[in-house]
Structure 1
């Protein structure tokens, strides 16, 4: 692919560019109606500002702000100017941001005014030359700076192999890794989803997901932008808000938690969504009982799919045809999947093993980690996902486990090792284990099982309070339990399966 992702997106806009691309109902400050023309014009001005600041193609721009149309346009401006976009979860604490900034070395950070002082300290310490602020209502020094820009810049010449985005994902070592996604990766995946899910310029997507995450930024926004569809933009998921706006939408994307909350009231029913074309679910496993309850209530079968930070989307249940509960469907066009044994040899249909993927959607490697990148790929360009899966006789993919001990809570990835290191650093703690257990709202939640040093005193509230100061809220264990010792096998490895069983009702 010779065109940049930005050029592809803009070429997908409708002929009538005065049509609304983005609507923000109830917004009290900043534009609430964004035509395709406005998106294009603002992206050009934002890219010109970055160039005016001295940024060059390939420079990283880090963003930690609340969801807003302006935040989306910053992403588009990065694509337009050839800059590398680095979104950061708004829940990240200072230490987490400090690590990411130190690793990625951005030339510009855009943050919420509320955290400017803390981020300015990081920027100064890490040698970041530029810091600007932006809030959800279009206030901040970023908006002031853009107002002084008169010129636009032509879209940069970017090829399929050029880096577009770095998305950080934690790992079993506890240190986040920057997955490098190219213009070609994102374009291939966006086009595949647009076509597989039949998006057109007649669609209206009700967008209630965060945009620091691949689900909300790439899956949702790319489907809309690459089809000329309209988005109704919501700051976050609010049940009453979504119920009120669904009559104006044709499509909705969510995490399983969204659907369990919608089903919690009788006002969510078949008559409310009879006009809807598509509901999709991702970022965490959708329980079969939620799938069946949703279908019984509304007549709609939620379309579940599977992806990950390093690959975008890999599979999807069919738009036409049977959407099977408990499966994530078939590989998307041009995506290959296989299940392998411990030796890396392909397993037969119906057998369980490690899931590997190959295709134009697969990332180019981890930022500044060549050895780690090489280790994650098998011969022939197959990426080892770390998930355990089975492909049945009909070709449906079943995810049956996670080899890397990942916990998915409310659609967000939680890696136990990262939290265990923080708990183990506490003076009172001898050792700890973090495990995921069922949670009625979040799907999964983490709990801490802790062994204290002899004579030490530490209670659950204090332990959790300390963690809240260090890590994002979604990573903080919902409960903490104190034990004399952790169960181990004959090789000395902690038997987390036993802990998951022992504490399976802790968050019920």
Structure 2
């Protein structure tokens, strides 16, 4: 029988485990044993339809058990799992398909019909799937469980997660079996995660936080998850008294702080509240402590690196800090992209090295050369400093990334759409503070007033056709001109002052 690092540690220990893995909103559940039985049947389907080691499997569907089952089927067959946000439009999805060149695409019926009209590679197969009813064109129970597990080396790739910068196209981060295992095992120990825990899972499962942090630590510990499609305060209130862990984004905690239903009695069985994917404000941290008696544990990670730092489980959790480097993770603050280290409390570029860090972007040698130093550190693009106690503080982002409710929004993508309009002279998209989501995108355009109303109508249609809802600008504001520096570069900090 073949084996891999992830199969041996995430799956094999649970083959006969009858304990609940996922507990659903209606109170029903699926055991680890039954979940991996489903996953082994999907794996058999993969093999009989000629999926080989290294083939890409693209999955785009609302949050459901099937996304997790296809992920673990990729572990068993050596395929590469490519999860996509189900909110992406066809135009957005088309790029990811052409870039990743998947052999299988799993998506809902409507998206499948749209994709079938595209020019795909001849060996690409599209399969319709429903979050409740599962696979629509075949009966998965007709397939026997796969027994011959693929042998995969620890440095081979298990997943592509797409990220992006403010310039250029989205990049596929190629994550290895060891990247995922090393990080999950560190987090399990660092956060004292154990089988007796009950984790509230309201995050999406197409990015690192909801998929690799939450699910992989569950596999290592054998805990049970309360598995919800999305964040809901009423659902949260229902399960908090029965739970011990919550992994969330700052928006969750803002909404909890604003609710009279959240109090110390409701949360007295909770062991740990974790926040990530966007900065947590010190005010929200303090308000939550006053309300519940719990100090939120903030950590810092990226798609390319998984988790890098965490405030300690035992010890001081500093408001405004993302904590200490995790075991085996090296972090240094440098002058720009150099290797010149800066002293404590001096802001510079955050660079990271460790078994958690990816080794390359897929088919993007230029980005690979720009992203790593010659001694193997990844240049994160985040600015920050390390204080006198060794805690890391994030000061800002080198680029213009907007984080709204934990989702990344890249202004250039929206600006390019706006600038395609013939009557728009120039544009900029900036992140404006929002009490609920942290930030929201706002577009600023320069346009002759006689075309104003037509342009605004046109842009709303363009956004609807080309952007996921969370990317659509909250407002479109009009200025006579955009402020620029002496080199002609648009000054977004001045734009924020003007529109505020």
Pairing partner for 1:173 from 167, 171, 175: 167
Q: 1:11 deviation in Å?
A: 4.2
Tell me the distance in 1 between the aligned counterparts of 2:230 and 2:122: 33
What is the aligned partner in structure 1 of residue 404 from structure 2? 409
Tell me the distance in 1 between the aligned counterparts of 2:402 and 2:422: 26
Tell me the distance in 2 between the aligned counterparts of 1:316 and 1:405: 24
Tell me the distance in 2 between the aligned counterparts of 1:472 and 1:390: 34
What is the aligned partner in structure 2 of residue 21 from structure 1? 21
The reply on whether 1:220 has 2:214 as its aligned counterpart is: yes
The reply on whether 1:109 has 2:105 as its aligned counterpart is: yes
Q: 1:483 deviation in Å?
A: 1.2
Cα contact 1:70–1:138 (8 A) shared by 2: no
Gaps of at least 5 residues in structure 1 are none
Gaps of at least 5 residues in structure 2 are none
Tell me the distance in 1 between the aligned counterparts of 2:382 and 2:159: 23
What is the aligned partner in structure 1 of residue 466 from structure 2? 470
Q: 1:459 deviation in Å?
A: 4.7
What is the aligned partner in structure 1 of residue 263 from structure 2? 269
CA deviation vs aligned residue, 1:239-289 (integer Å, no higher than 9, x gap): 101111111111111111111112222111000010111110011101111
Cα contact 1:13–1:227 (8 A) shared by 2: no
Change (3 A) 1:398 1:467: same
Tell me, what secondary structure is at the counterpart of 1:445? strand
Q: 1:4 deviation in Å?
A: 2.6
| 1:251-262 alignment, distance < 5 Å | 251-262=245-256
Cα contact 1:4–1:157 (8 A) shared by 2: no
Tell me the TM-score normalized by structure 2. Answer: 0.96
Cα contact 1:3–1:160 (8 A) shared by 2: yes
| 1:55-74 alignment, distance < 5 Å | 55-74=51-70
Q: 1:465 deviation in Å?
A: 3.4
CA deviation vs aligned residue, 1:105-163 (integer Å, no higher than 9, x gap): 000000022422112223x5454521112222134426x34233125142211111100
Tell me, what secondary structure is at the counterpart of 1:430? strand
Pairing partner for 2:348 from 344, 348, 353: 353
Q: CA RMSD in A?
A: 1.7
Cα contact 1:101–1:126 (8 A) shared by 2: no
Tell me the distance in 2 between the aligned counterparts of 1:119 and 1:19: 39
Change (3 A) 1:336 1:97: same
What is the aligned partner in structure 2 of residue 7 from structure 1? 8
Tell me the distance in 2 between the aligned counterparts of 1:487 and 1:162: 48
What is the aligned partner in structure 1 of residue 277 from structure 2? 283
Change (3 A) 1:467 1:444: same
Q: 1:409 deviation in Å?
A: 0.6
Tell me the distance in 1 between the aligned counterparts of 2:142 and 2:164: 39
Residue-pair matches, total:
496
What is the aligned partner in structure 1 of residue 374 from structure 2? 379
Cα contact 2:417–2:462 (8 A) shared by 1: no
Tell me the distance in 2 between the aligned counterparts of 1:146 and 1:247: 37
Change (3 A) 1:403 1:12: farther
Pairing partner for 2:74 from 52, 74, 78: 78
| 1:61-460 alignment, distance < 5 Å | 61-122=57-118, 124-127=119-122, 129-141=124-136, 144-342=138-336, 343-452=338-447, 456-457=451-452, 458-460=454-456
Q: 1:323 deviation in Å?
A: 0.7
Tell me the TM-score normalized by structure 1. Answer: 0.94
Tell me the distance in 1 between the aligned counterparts of 2:292 and 2:355: 36
Tell me, what secondary structure is at the counterpart of 2:254? helix
Pairing partner for 1:35 from 24, 31, 38: 31
Tell me, what secondary structure is at the counterpart of 2:441? strand
Tell me the distance in 1 between the aligned counterparts of 2:283 and 2:261: 20
Cα contact 1:105–1:128 (8 A) shared by 2: no
